[in-house]
Structure 1
Amino acid sequence: MKPIHTLSREIMRKIHRKESIDGLSADQILLSMFANSRDWHNVKIIKLGNHKKILDQLRVNTNYASYRDFFGEKGIYKLQTEVRRVYDLNPKDRGVYEKELLKIDERLNILSMAFSGSLLKIIPIKNDANNTWIARHNHGNDSHESHVAINFFNAYGNALKTAIQTNDYTDANNLLNELKGYQIKNGSAILPSSTKINAEIFLNNFNVFNRLASFYFILSLTFLLFLFLSIFKPNTKLKTIYKILITLVVLGFVAHTIGLCLRWYVSGRAPWSNGYESMIYIAWTTTLAGVIFTRKSFGGLAATMVLASTILMVSMLSFLDPEITPLVPVLKSYWLTIHVSLEAGSYGFLMLGAIIGLINLILMIFITNANKERVKRIVTEMSYISELTIFGGLVMVSVGTFLGGIWANESWGRYWGWDAKETWALVTILVYAFILHMRIIPKLTGLFVYNVSTIFGLATVIMTYYGVNYYLSGLHSYATGDPAPIPKWIYIVVACIIVISVLAYLKKRKHKIIT
């Protein structure tokens, strides 16, 4: 059960990948489709992507297509033959083209249902054992509620058309108030409370996580600016500026916490059960780690804000849908709150250690005779902070993996089965345990080696969280999505990190102040 306010946004994200078109909100678009669906048949609303073969079949040259673009002169569906062929394929034999074709076909079907009103299941059937709600069209159903649905949709459609012309929505709103009373009277068994409905609408409007992505990004640039200012202009008074910035970080963290709590309250479960939710949760644990361990360091807070903003920006990508979905049966357990919170939460701590390591290497590149003492002090301080965050992350991932074994025994009847996720969780534990114990190994005791290892150690976290979910098969597939091809910029980032590491090594070797 969800408000139409949420449904309209989900429909737009599915078919258009955005929640608005030309200044029209999702609610306005859905109502306009309901009142005058034909007016939308030629609007370029369905997201296509860049696959040339699909564009050629539809005879369009843009990334968006209209509803009418999918049908020929005689009303024949242009993709019908290809879609049937792809559905007949074994899922493992479907490539990028086939998967993209099915997504586009799904978007077309959703748009068709939005035009017909069949998605608007807003009429409850009185005394129904399954608490069924129906929409306008219910073929073969001649019940009282079916007639109620037909009468309401016809009356509301006419009232809405008149209101669009006269800008007087009194009659349309009166019909909605009557519908609300009917829903309360006949569907109260599963109707969400007004408090929960208002909370969900507030969460939709506030759009807290997208706003925080920009907020954290601005803070990250500000912290980096003052970090380098403290190195090259050490006499600059930054105490007041620091107090303002740390206050803003805490306010952002509070807003982040409120957003997670609202999502928990609305969904009725812990908000870290799918790809999108785990991303916003990891961003939260990153900020938490920063507030706990780096609150007295410009460099540490810069790393915190860089990582938190990056994770939230990734969560906004099109392949991660913020829709609140039901849990798969095996996740309906209190272990979801305990095990997954520790595992996913640890990633924020470990990632923060890697970002701090990267900033330390960049600082080493800027070592000069004039600032080498200050750089050494800052790098040493941030390395200690990194060690604390990694230690916290290692404890969390270790305990989470141990408790995951207990959950696995309850769910699958065995504690450990060398599943891909289990194996890579163990690899992560071993790698980070080695990183924390490197200081007792000769030739591996320096700050440079430690910071480089924290960066490349992050590869195990990425593989555990992302690679296993999207590229390997196994029992831990709950947060998965359609495998996205590895972007080329990943290779560029790795190459840049290697270059930064080499430059930092040459610079620290030249000045011999950082081991």
Structure 2
Amino acid sequence: MKKYFSPLKRLFVSWRFTLILLVIYAVSLSAATFIEKTHGTPVAKELVYNQPVFYLLQLLMVVQFIATSVRMRLWRQGKYGILLFHVAFVVILAGALITNLFGFEGIVHIREGETTSLLRQPHGTRELPFSLRLDDFKLVRYPGSNSPSSFESFLVISSDKGTREEHIYMNKVIYEQGYRIYQSSYDTDERGTILSVNHDNWGTAVTYVGYLLLLAGMLLTLFDSKSRFRRLAMQLRQTLPLLLFCSFPLPLAAQDGATHCLHENTIPADHAEVWGRMQVQCSTGRIEPVNTYTSKLLRKLYRDDSFEGLRSEQVILGFLINPAYWGNVPLIRQSNTELAEKLALPSDKYLRFFDLFDEEGRYVIAEAVDSAYSRPAAKRSRMEKDLLKLDEKVNILYSLQQGGMFALFPLPDSKEGKWYSPGDDLSAFSGKDSMFVSKIFYWYAEEAGNALQTQDWAAADEVLSMINVYQQKRNTAGLLTDRQVAWELFYNRADLFFRSSMGDMSAGLLLLLFSVWYLLKSKRWLKRITVALTVMVVVLFLLHTFGIGVRWYISGRAPWANAYESMIYVAWATVLAGILFMRRSTMTLALAAFFAGIILFVANLNFMDPEITPLVPVLKSYWLMIHVAVITASYGFFGMSFLLGLLSLGFMAAGRTTAILQTHVRALRLINEMSLHIGLYLLAAGIFLGAVWANESWGRYWGWDPKETWALITMIVYAFVLHARFIPLLSSDYAFNVMSVFALSSVLMTYFGVNYYLSGLHSYGSGDVPPGLYAVFAVFGAAFLLALYVGYRQKKCQ
């Protein structure tokens, strides 16, 4: 018996078994997310998450960690940070087990005026030790919009201990006798509320202790002199001398001037400047400068915020005051050649508004549009989707010509804060306001039309000032201040992130070239150039930071609530990661800057909307800033690790290696591993900060949502990379660099894949797959070929 037990024991406490468990766990989680995509969450829970085998797998991971820790004697070695960090996961899993065994949750549905004490659960009902009466439900919308800003319930809670009134809404929790009550949803007629009720005192307490231990373990690991991270830093200090580097941005190409004909048929730039400072209410209810609003419309139509050197205000106002001319300007982007051929439309990339109407004024694509809308959204072809996008653009222009979609006039004393366009039903206005609102814009259009002929814009300026005075007097509470308008106009025109992207890409590339040159030939003038480029990268980073700060100010919230903003933040975190290591490796900073420039460039492509939008109710929490900032910052460090791995493989593939080259490859390995440590700690902290947010906002800290699950998979993948060094076969620099390159695929799946291929609570960026995403496959394909070549060369040299 002993002869069979000893090998099993050795296997159980071996690092091979640790990695095997991590792989099995990651594979089972990824399989569950795709089951959830095809068959729904209940099926995924039944087939994977609630299976005894899945619990056994987690138990094996816990027991195996304890056995490995005892074998390595972590406590006696003084590695308290590592020990505490791993013990934290044991405690967190124990808390989850307690929650699963003893905690319960359910839904309470109440109509206004009704009282209930029944908790609805999947397999029946439970009587609560208190009753809830709904006195009133209130759905608060963003001004002038149907988008919910908040939904709130006014309750009376009665129990043996007495009666009290409570006001509950999203992100505000009510506690009653160990139960936590959350605002979950509401009835479509807005006369009833749906509350989530959770009872899990012990499970939550144990889990939160695990989160605190996790934080303590991470801090000890980073600062303990005996930790792996500190030993890597010491090895790096001994491997390379201090090196600095930087870069500078390439000048932006000047735009072509507008044609003489266009200038004759649109408002002049100085008059457009006045229009740009006016305020308008967009479809989401946000009050914003006209410049911001017209830029969004022009991007929707033309895929750019300027046209032939003209500002967006000049183009959009041109449609309002001179539709006969602008209807013949090719402004509507339509690049689907199959669609153009099928519907007999012009094959040019840009269509004119009048191209979509025949001589009798009939809408030529109406029948095709109706057919596309009759099909379920999931079954529409690419051509049908492009057709509906074209229809949306035509409707925007048509609505503008009919006096719609330009909400300039606030309704006095409106509780909803709604603003109206000239072509809307204006019956809500009364007295002088009714007369003013119904006539003023058409008066302006007449004066502007005359000014196009006479070039005397004094009368049009005067009418425009009347509209401005009306806004100031009728909606003082909702208007932006002059300072806010000025900063938003500066943000729109400065294009800080695009300039940063061009600067980062060019600076990073130049810095990389000069760093490699300096590596081969240690000339003093080369070092001076790298120092100058380093300063430039830092300046670009400060410009990027300034842009984030300006967007934060004008939006009134942390700017990482949507896909565009999160990419801006990932790019910022990437450069920050490079700056942290720039004193030891100029190539690290160069790669970080170049990668950040690419991220910013992709973010500024037309498929990502840079619009500042209001937050959905669940995101209106301070946890948004904490959770998203931490977890997204980890992607910057993982991205830098990807580039360091690629660069190292490139060095390995470059012919005969020298002692200096080997030294730099080793230094890049050390920086890479340190970057992975920081990224993994940030990711772990971000995941569990998100769990706290979820628990404090809607009553559960883990629900196996695809985004949560893939974040956990990413953490497991990078944990595998960092632990693989204990296996001789995977301990080489080559193996480590290959793993650090391909581990990024899990980040891309978490960030893009969940949003565009799966579904769930976190799919805020869902929609059409970004076209640039397909280039990812080409990049990883090239990396795979490079890895094969380096592996072949190393095997040949052995």
TM more than 0.5: yes
Could you tell me the TM-score, scaled by structure 2's length? 0.62
Counterpart mapping for 1:263-412 below 5 A: 263-368=551-656, 372-412=658-698
Given residue 547 of structure 2, which amino acid in structure 1 is its aligned partner? G
**Farther-moved stretch of structure 1 (54-63 vs 257-266):** 54-63
SS for the counterpart of 1:178 is helix
Q: Provide the C-alpha distance between the structure 2 equivalents of 1:420 and 1:397, rounded to a whole number of angstroms.
A: 16
**Farther-moved stretch of structure 1 (114-123 vs 65-74):** 114-123
Q: Provide the C-alpha distance between the structure 1 equivalents of 2:362 and 2:319, rounded to a whole number of angstroms.
A: 22
In the alignment, which residue of structure 1 is the partner of 2:126?
none
Q: CA deviation at 1:179?
A: 2.2
Counterpart mapping for 1:343-492 below 5 A: 343-368=631-656, 372-484=658-770, 489-492=775-778
Percentage of identical aligned residues: 39
Q: Provide the C-alpha distance between the structure 1 equivalents of 2:457 and 2:677, rounded to a whole number of angstroms.
A: 60
Counterpart mapping for 1:168-183 below 5 A: 168-183=456-471
Q: CA deviation at 1:249?
A: 0.8
Q: Provide the C-alpha distance between the structure 2 equivalents of 1:303 and 1:237, rounded to a whole number of angstroms.
A: 22
SS for the counterpart of 1:2 is strand
Q: CA deviation at 1:483?
A: 2.9
Q: Provide the C-alpha distance between the structure 1 equivalents of 2:523 and 2:766, rounded to a whole number of angstroms.
A: 50
Q: Classify 1:409/1:65 alpha carbon distance in 2 versus 1 (closer, same or farther; 3 Å).
A: same
Q: Which one of 768, 774, 780 corresponds to residue 494 of structure 1?
A: 780
Q: Classify 1:306/1:461 alpha carbon distance in 2 versus 1 (closer, same or farther; 3 Å).
A: same
Q: Which one of 300, 324, 327 corresponds to residue 41 of structure 1?
A: 327
Q: Provide the C-alpha distance between the structure 2 equivalents of 1:47 and 1:361, rounded to a whole number of angstroms.
A: 42
Runs of 4+ in 1 over 6 A off after TM superposition: none
Q: CA deviation at 1:98?
A: 2.4
- Does structure 2 conserve the Cα–Cα contact (< 8 Å) formed by 1:138 and 1:146? no
Could you tell me the TM-score, scaled by structure 1's length? 0.94
- Does structure 1 conserve the Cα–Cα contact (< 8 Å) formed by 2:319 and 2:397? no
Q: Which has the larger radius of gyration?
A: 2
Q: Which one of 406, 412, 430 corresponds to residue 143 of structure 1?
A: 430
**Farther-moved stretch of structure 1 (490-499 vs 300-309):** 490-499
SS for the counterpart of 2:683 is helix
In the alignment, which residue of structure 2 is the partner of 1:22?
308
Q: CA deviation at 1:282?
A: 0.6
Q: CA deviation at 1:488?
A: 5.1
**Farther-moved stretch of structure 1 (18-27 vs 205-214):** 18-27
Q: Provide the C-alpha distance between the structure 2 equivalents of 1:181 and 1:82, rounded to a whole number of angstroms.
A: 45
Q: Which one of 513, 524, 547 corresponds to residue 225 of structure 1?
A: 513
Q: CA deviation at 1:126?
A: 2.0
Q: CA deviation at 1:351?
A: 0.8
Q: CA deviation at 1:55?
A: 4.3
**Farther-moved stretch of structure 1 (438-447 vs 133-142):** 133-142
SS for the counterpart of 2:361 is coil
Given residue 157 of structure 1, which amino acid in structure 2 is its aligned partner? A
**Farther-moved stretch of structure 1 (305-314 vs 413-422):** 413-422
**Farther-moved stretch of structure 1 (133-142 vs 386-395):** 133-142
Q: CA deviation at 1:452?
A: 0.8
Q: Provide the C-alpha distance between the structure 2 equivalents of 1:464 and 1:73, rounded to a whole number of angstroms.
A: 51
In the alignment, which residue of structure 1 is the partner of 2:533?
245
Q: Provide the C-alpha distance between the structure 1 equivalents of 2:322 and 2:709, rounded to a whole number of angstroms.
A: 55
**Farther-moved stretch of structure 1 (140-149 vs 353-362):** 140-149
- Does structure 1 conserve the Cα–Cα contact (< 8 Å) formed by 2:506 and 2:594? no
In the alignment, which residue of structure 2 is the partner of 1:185?
473
Q: Provide the C-alpha distance between the structure 1 equivalents of 2:341 and 2:590, rounded to a whole number of angstroms.
A: 44
Q: Provide the C-alpha distance between the structure 2 equivalents of 1:269 and 1:55, rounded to a whole number of angstroms.
A: 46
Q: Provide the C-alpha distance between the structure 1 equivalents of 2:435 and 2:387, rounded to a whole number of angstroms.
A: 38
Q: Provide the C-alpha distance between the structure 1 equivalents of 2:515 and 2:321, rounded to a whole number of angstroms.
A: 56
Query: Which of the pair is proportionally richer in strand?
Result: 2
Q: CA deviation at 1:308?
A: 0.4
Q: Provide the C-alpha distance between the structure 1 equivalents of 2:751 and 2:773, rounded to a whole number of angstroms.
A: 17
Q: Which one of 278, 286, 293 corresponds to residue 7 of structure 1?
A: 293
- Does structure 2 conserve the Cα–Cα contact (< 8 Å) formed by 1:357 and 1:386? yes
In the alignment, which residue of structure 2 is the partner of 1:503?
789
Any stretches of 5+ residues in structure 1 without a counterpart?
Answer: none
Q: Provide the C-alpha distance between the structure 2 equivalents of 1:74 and 1:303, rounded to a whole number of angstroms.
A: 59
Q: Classify 1:433/1:30 alpha carbon distance in 2 versus 1 (closer, same or farther; 3 Å).
A: same
Counterpart mapping for 1:149-168 below 5 A: 149-168=437-456
Given residue 701 of structure 2, which amino acid in structure 1 is its aligned partner? Y
- Does structure 2 conserve the Cα–Cα contact (< 8 Å) formed by 1:134 and 1:146? no
Q: Provide the C-alpha distance between the structure 1 equivalents of 2:348 and 2:303, rounded to a whole number of angstroms.
A: 15
Kindly report the root-mean-square deviation, in angstroms, between the aligned alpha carbons of the 2 structures: 1.9
Q: Provide the C-alpha distance between the structure 1 equivalents of 2:644 and 2:770, rounded to a whole number of angstroms.
A: 28
- Does structure 2 conserve the Cα–Cα contact (< 8 Å) formed by 1:354 and 1:458? yes
* 1:18-42 C-alpha deviation (Å, 9 max, x unpaired): 1122221212112222220111112
Q: Provide the C-alpha distance between the structure 2 equivalents of 1:194 and 1:55, rounded to a whole number of angstroms.
A: 49
Given residue 40 of structure 1, which amino acid in structure 2 is its aligned partner? W
**Farther-moved stretch of structure 1 (482-491 vs 273-282):** 482-491
Q: Provide the C-alpha distance between the structure 2 equivalents of 1:98 and 1:37, rounded to a whole number of angstroms.
A: 28
Q: Provide the C-alpha distance between the structure 2 equivalents of 1:405 and 1:487, rounded to a whole number of angstroms.
A: 29
Q: CA deviation at 1:421?
A: 0.8
Asked if residue 126 in structure 1 is aligned to residue 412 in structure 2, the reply is yes
- More relative contact order, 1 or 2 (CA 8 Å, 6+ apart): 2
Q: CA deviation at 1:270?
A: 1.2
SS for the counterpart of 1:62 is coil
- Does structure 2 conserve the Cα–Cα contact (< 8 Å) formed by 1:124 and 1:132? yes
**Farther-moved stretch of structure 1 (79-88 vs 481-490):** 481-490
**Farther-moved stretch of structure 1 (160-169 vs 248-257):** 160-169
Given residue 163 of structure 1, which amino acid in structure 2 is its aligned partner? A
Q: Classify 1:15/1:415 alpha carbon distance in 2 versus 1 (closer, same or farther; 3 Å).
A: same
